[in-house]
Amino acid sequence: MSPKPVVARDLGVAKMPPGGTLGEHRHRQAEVYLVLSGSGCVRVDGEEAPIEAGSAVFIPGDAAHSCENTGASELRVAYVLAADSFEDVDYVFED
């Protein structure tokens, strides 16, 4: 039997100004980032990687992650969460 497809209904575009950050957090659902423009770095479970337009990042469920704009222009990142709706996602921010 084939696995049931996951239909994600929680997606959007995050915009960060130069120097902006999305603090370290986690949620049960897996997530994918697709960098649309700008540059920065992403951290997933303590591992850091540079990102730029065209980069894609897979974030496993329950992985601590954050994102920072290290460039001179706005960082735009499309995100998709494996969730039926935004209300199904419980964000837990690290202190």
Domains for the chain: give ranges and CATH numbers.
Answer: 22-93 (2.60.120.10)
- What's the pTM? 0.85
Q: What is the pLDDT of residues 14-51, one digit of tens each?
A: 999 999 999 999 999 999 999 999 999 999 999 999 99
The predicted pLDDT at position 8 comes to: 62
Mean pLDDT score across all residues of the chain? 91
What is the rounded CA–CA span in Å between residue 4 and residue 10? 18
Q: Classify 86 in phi/psi space as left (phi over 0), alpha (psi -120 to 50) or beta.
A: alpha
Rounded percentage of the chain residues whose pLDDT exceeds 70: 89
The predicted pLDDT at position 24 comes to: 96
